[in-house]
Chains A and B, each alone.
Chain A
Amino acid sequence: MKKTVDISLPVGPMHPCFKEPCRIKCETRGEYVLAAEVELGYVKKGIERIMRGRPWQEVMFLAERVCGICSVIHNFVFIESVEHISGIVPTERAAYLRVIVNELDRMQSHLLANYSYCYTIEHETLAMYLLNLRETVMDQLELITGARVTCAFIVPGGVRCDISSDIADELRSALDHIDAELTRFIRIFETGPLIGLRSKGIGILTKDAAIESHAVGPTARASGIDNDQRSTHPTYTALGFSPVIRQEGDNFARIMVRFEEVFQSIRLIRSALEAMREGPIRGGGTIKAGSIRYRGEAPRGELLYELTTDDYGRILEIAIQTPSIPNIQVCAHAMLIDAQSAADITSIFISSDPCIACTER
């Protein structure tokens, strides 16, 4: 990048606000940010290179470990793309169970993202409330799948284990608890005058810039772009899904979109529990040769898997485009420009929910 001024303000790679190492170099005049540049490579593992030529049974677990926060959706999209190649259809109960686990994962991811934002703007009380609420969601994930983070719940043709009526009741009461608590926390967030000063009108992302960089997920939906892969997924359309969209495009809107999506996930899980009938949770099938481009909606946005399989169930070619890639790029090259102070750099960056492990793979 061309140097426009002498002062280059580096943030990271180890920074108290960042969960992961990454480095932002800001060209500044005083504290006013003129340009920003992101330096990566701190968590590059080369997962796509490892995946090539391996059987799907191994790639399934590697795909889950692309990202530890949204591991369920990587599992979900990889298995569904392999299923589409081979013409396998999951059983009805399994399809609903997939939605339940995926939405629980989205809830914990959004709560973690909003925790990070509140922590960055130094509202530690609200941050701790949200982090504690996230533990309730993690308990439900553990109850259903048996693991907190990498649960490998979804397998071709179905899911790994069923839920009993006891677990369903537990899940319902946990959802009621989250619903009641979160309503209170959102009131704190919406009406807090200092939160408003740090969030409203800061880090504005215009619709044009978002479209040009292919921004996805809550970052794009807060700028008024109707882009949600769940609206084309058959199980979600059966549950009556409609995306959450806001128009402001600032930090506040991005956080509020995530809060509203948590409520939406609660509604989806409730209606999935209603609609679910007794039945088998696993079908059968064999993986066939073919290639596909398959998209799914991760907590951070649109996730794309492009893969080729052969007759023995091996993955010949694979490319993963994770939602954090466009989001961080648009954050660094559009949102950070014109930031008024150095304190806003971290809060704007965190508000786009960056996940460096996803970005670098």
Chain B
Amino acid sequence: MNKYLYEKDLRQMKLIILESRRHDAVVLELAATLGIKRQQLRKILIERSDMMFLENLPARCDVAREAGDDTERLLGIPLLTQAFCLISKEDGVLIKEQYLRRIQDGIKHEAAVSEARMEMMELIRS
């Protein structure tokens, strides 16, 4: 017996989980915050999380929406760190501090947000 019977490709099953209505809503929400396409975020999630975690995403997001202050919620940091676990909590704090520093330096709001997004995407991809 040299065939692994149970080590199967699970991408199709994971995609079926993410296509459900509530999962689709939270994935769309985070994709909008990060400024990427839904399909890209789905790909990242399928690669990084196990099936149980994917099933539980909407419930985790419900909790994470109430966490954090206004700035963090604007950048979507509680969702990323607490609900999706894509970046660590320390990195979340760093991103927020850098964003606040840029606002103090007189950089426009939109530019600061888009730079924070770039940083978050870099952390996720690494």
Q: Which residues of A contact B (CB under 8 A)?
A: 1, 10, 13, 23, 37-41, 44, 46, 48, 211-214, 306, 317-319, 321, 325-326, 328-329, 332-333, 359-360
User: A111 CB to closest chain B CB, in angstroms?
Assistant: 26
Pick the contact of A40: B13, B22, B58 (CB < 8 A): B13
Closest residue of chain A to B52 (Cβ to Cβ) is: A38
Q: A213-B56, A329-B52, A359-B55 are in contact. Are A317 and B63 (CB under 8 A)?
A: no
**Residue B62 interfacial (CB < 8 Å):** yes
Pick the contact of B21: A38, A212, A319, A329 (CB < 8 A): A319
Most A-side CB within 10 Å, residue of B6, B21, B62, B63 = B21
Chain A residues in 8 Å Cβ range of B114: none
What interface size band does chain B fall in?
A: 10 to 19
Query: Beyond the given A214-B59, A214-B62, could you list 4 further A-B residue pairs with CB under 8 A, ordered by the A residue number?
Result: A46-B16, A325-B56, A326-B60, A328-B52
Interface of chain B, main secondary structure: helix
**A68–B39 alpha-carbon span in the complex (Å):** 35
Q: Which residues of B contact A (CB under 8 A)?
A: 6, 10, 13, 16, 20-22, 50-53, 55-56, 58-60, 62-63, 82
B21 near A213: Cβ-Cβ < 8 Å: no
B20 near A39: Cβ-Cβ < 8 Å: no
Pick the contact of A326: B6, B20, B56 (CB < 8 A): B56
Q: A211-B63, A214-B63, A326-B56 are in contact. Are A48 and B50 (CB under 8 A)?
A: no
User: B17 CB to closest chain A CB, in angstroms?
Assistant: 8
Chain A residues in 8 Å Cβ range of B6: 10, 13, 23
User: A302 CB to closest chain B CB, in angstroms?
Assistant: 9
What are 8 sample pairs from A and B whose C-beta atoms fall under 8 A apart? A41-B13, A48-B21, A213-B56, A213-B60, A214-B56, A214-B63, A321-B22, A325-B55
**A283–B10 alpha-carbon span in the complex (Å):** 48
**A23–B16 alpha-carbon span in the complex (Å):** 18
B51 near A41: Cβ-Cβ < 8 Å: yes
